[in-house]
Amino acid sequence: MTLDVIARALRDRGLETTLLYGIDDLDPMDTQSLLTGDAVERSLGVPLAHVPDPAADGHASYARHSAGLFIDTFDRLGIHPDRYYWMSEVYAEGGMDRYVRIALDRAQVIRDIYREVSQVERPPGWLPVHVVCPTCGRIGTTLASDWNGETVAFSCLPDLVEWARGCGTKGRLAPFGGAGKLPFNVDWAARWSLLGVTIEPCGKDLATAGGSRDRADAIARRVFEREPPVRVDYEFLNIRGQKMSTSRGRGAAAHEMAEILPPDQLRLLFLRPRPNQAIEFDPHGSDAIPRLFDEFDRLAAAVAGRPFRGELSPDYERVFAMSLPVDADAAVEAAAYRPPFAHLAFLLQVPGADVAARVEAEKGMTLTDRERAILDERVVAARAWLDQYAPERARVAVHDELPSTVAELDAQQRAFLSALAERLTSDGAGKSWTGDDLQGAVFDVAREQNVPPAGAFAALYSAFLGRANGPRAGWLLASLAPDFVRERLRAAGDAARVRP
């Protein structure tokens, strides 16, 4: 997302820009994710490009299957790299051969960099290359030594790493044409030269002092003799203060969120803060998803010149535009009618409610084709939120009979409910049965009756939902038949207060 926005900004300035996305599929399998028990022993330590597709759905490898989830997600978000490259192919085609040779010739310089930059001491004779064992096919279990200008000696060791066992093969081979690969930091620096990279962001975990990016920068300068790209460090996506990690049961997978959230809102999630600010986003049991929709709607209102609440950053128009897919017209998108997410989630829980008709009534005119598409997206998101993420307070049901909880309302609250019923019955009042107008009526009557807003809303929720909280009150009332609302308000206002 960060690179996509950088590329779009550069192109807006008239600069020719190429957006690349690489997949490190020559790296070894070092996790059991998506693998059956019998496949673990065979595949750990094997290059990801050589591990069979676990889903058997037509992909050439584990890597192609897993990367495909991200590529499909990028497309849905309007992110279209000019080129995808697979490192297994780059190495196999000889693209990295020159850099493998340079790294081996300057192995001592690389060892010095590890020690000076990161205080990591590599043993004497260590070489910056991992080779693929010709016997078992593993790359994560081999150790190379003795570079003679054409070949390296290697051993496939049973105990080199804890997560895979080598087969014990020893020999010599030429580490070119995909028979070997550079370790991460060296590979990273070599790629910058191979591809002509000028800008590359990296995550906080790689950007620490003396960490991977510092090592790669030093290797670029001292081994491959080029300046490293401009770096943009970005923070973590956090959940409850911890880095989101689906493998550890924290958060949700990217492709799952992209199936739920429209691209505009998911892009906004990443673009609201600066890259070096952590993003706190916990979709489970919270209002994080509704708040994201509300923030987008607030930006849209501001861009369209409609009233909105709260403060906006000076670059809000740019943030809004960058939240849209590249082919979207910001002015048209800002002007489109969008039903409030929380109200839509409530309508979906009202038995027999014609959601599209109710939304059209809220707008006051027929929805455009684009607005119907927006409504469809939001219905999908609201259903998913209710099914998977919403807190219990968001799940509501209007009582057919007057709830017993109204007996606990005080005289002031009952007077407010009676006065609101009259306001919604009198000539000219309540004719515009929209969420905004009804919300305004609630505030006006509460002020006239000297009832604090919290007490007024609690009384409303008690009268209709049998509890002290609920969705936005105006939209709750707007989703119900006017006669039903008026009768319920009168009945709740007349209810005698009963003390236990």
Domains and CATH numbers, the chain: 2-90+186-238 (3.40.50.620), 97-182 (no CATH), 240-394 (no CATH), 404-494 (1.10.10.350)
Distance CA 213, CA 207 (A): 6
* Predicted model pTM: 0.82
Distance CA 419, CA 425 (A): 10
The per-residue pLDDT string of the chain (500 residues; one tens digit each, 9 = 90 and over) reads: 999 999 999 999 999 999 999 999 999 998 766 666 667 778 999 999 999 887 777 788 999 998 998 899 999 999 999 999 999 999 999 999 999 999 999 999 999 999 999 999 998 899 999 999 999 999 999 999 999 999 999 999 999 998 899 999 999 999 999 999 999 999 999 999 999 999 999 998 999 999 999 999 999 999 999 999 999 999 888 877 777 766 566 667 778 888 889 999 999 999 988 888 988 888 888 889 999 999 999 999 999 999 888 888 889 999 999 999 887 899 999 999 999 998 899 899 987 889 999 899 889 899 999 999 999 999 999 999 999 889 888 888 889 899 999 999 999 999 999 999 999 987 455 467 888 889 999 999 999 999 999 999 999 999 999 998 888 888 888 888 899 999 999 999 988 544 44
Exposed / middle / buried, residue 255 (Cβ in 10 Å: 0-12, 13-18, 19+)? middle
Distance CA 463, CA 218 (A): 68
Distance of CA 338 to the CA centre of its chain: 21
Give Cβ neighbours of residue 249 (< 8 Å, ≥ 6 apart): none
> Residue 182's closest CA among 210, 216, 225, 135?
216
